[in-house]
């Protein structure tokens, strides 16, 4: 079955702009989590969505937001981009939250802010 | 602070040798400890995971050793191969409300020399 699909793979944006990233989970998976990966901070949890509701949120400013649609696809948005937002943004899907079920990661979206 | 401390940052091992990566945590609420393997340009992939009621888990050449009292766990890669060269992340998961949250270690870049 198809894995987690993230689009686009690469993005270059200018400071102050906003960006929307998309994630399609594995078919049947209803939980989607987002992570930011940088060389300095490693993998940091952004938020998790299940049944179109945000269930958990990491320590990121309000410029980072997300949503989930009825088909479990998820988008994350970053507004007023800063240079420090340059990172690999990873999406992971799992069957449901609250359980120790395996999280499958997509290949990520590489965002560069210039 | 829900940190997971991982060491070493980088590791070079000869083919056929044993690779050992260590992690330590503070929060006793963590109850699931997965290890992820990440190749360049790919998202992390679950390698092996353990629960704290088990002291060791082995899957092929990969073994997790878990010391609940010391709040430490480690990954051992036996008979390391050049194809094992990747970045390895330990992680710890805890229940957060109705969801779960993964906290990652900082990663270990493993290089296995032929």
Q: From CA A87, how far away is CA A18, in angstroms rounded?
A: 14
Q: Does B27 touch chain A (CB under 8 A)?
A: no
Per residue in B26-66, pLDDT tens? 999 898 999 999 999 889 999 999 998 999 999 999 999 99
How many Cβ pairs closer than 8 A exist between chain A and B? Answer: 64
- From chain A, pick out residues whose CB is under 8 angstroms from the CB of B34: 102
pLDDT value of position A83: 97
pLDDT value of position A2: 76
- From chain A, pick out residues whose CB is under 8 angstroms from the CB of B46: 102-104
Q: From CA A30, how far away is CA A52, in angstroms rounded?
A: 9
Per residue in B76-96, pLDDT tens? 999 999 999 999 999 998 877
The residues, ordered by sequence, that sit 6+ positions from A28 with a Cβ below 8 Å of its Cβ are: A95
Does B1 score more than 60 pLDDT?
A: no
The residues, ordered by sequence, that sit 6+ positions from B74 with a Cβ below 8 Å of its Cβ are: B20, B21, B22, B23, B64, B65
- From chain A, pick out residues whose CB is under 8 angstroms from the CB of B1: none
pLDDT value of position A100: 60
């Amino acid at each position: 079955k198809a894995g987690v699909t993230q689009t686009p793979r690469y993005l270059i944006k200018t400071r102050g702009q906003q960006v929307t990233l998309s994630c399609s989970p594995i078919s049947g998976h209803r939980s989607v989590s987002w992570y930011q990966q940088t060389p300095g901070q490693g993998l940091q949890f952004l938020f998790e969505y299940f049944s179109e509701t945000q269930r958990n949120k990491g320590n990121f400013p309000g410029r980072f937001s997300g949503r989930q649609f009825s088909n479990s696809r998820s988008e994350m948005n970053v507004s007023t981009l800063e240079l420090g937002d340059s990172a690999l943004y990873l999406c992971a899907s799992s069957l449901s939250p609250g359980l120790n079920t395996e999280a499958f990661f997509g290949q990520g979206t590489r965002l560069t802010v210039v | 602070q829900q940190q997971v401390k991982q060491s070493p940052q980088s590791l070079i091992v000869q083919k056929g040798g044993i690779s050992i990566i260590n992690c330590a945590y503070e929060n006793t609420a963590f109850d699931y400890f997965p290890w992820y393997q990440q190749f360049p340009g790919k998202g992390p992939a679950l390698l092996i995971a353990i629960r704290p009621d088990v002291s060791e888990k082995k899957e092929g050449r990969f073994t997790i050793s878990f010391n609940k009292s010391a709040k430490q766990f480690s990954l051992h890669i036996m008979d390391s191969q050049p194809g094992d060269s990747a970045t390895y992340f330990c992680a710890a998961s805890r229940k957060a409300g109705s969801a779960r949250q993964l906290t990652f270690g900082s990663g270990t870049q493993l290089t296995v020399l032929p």
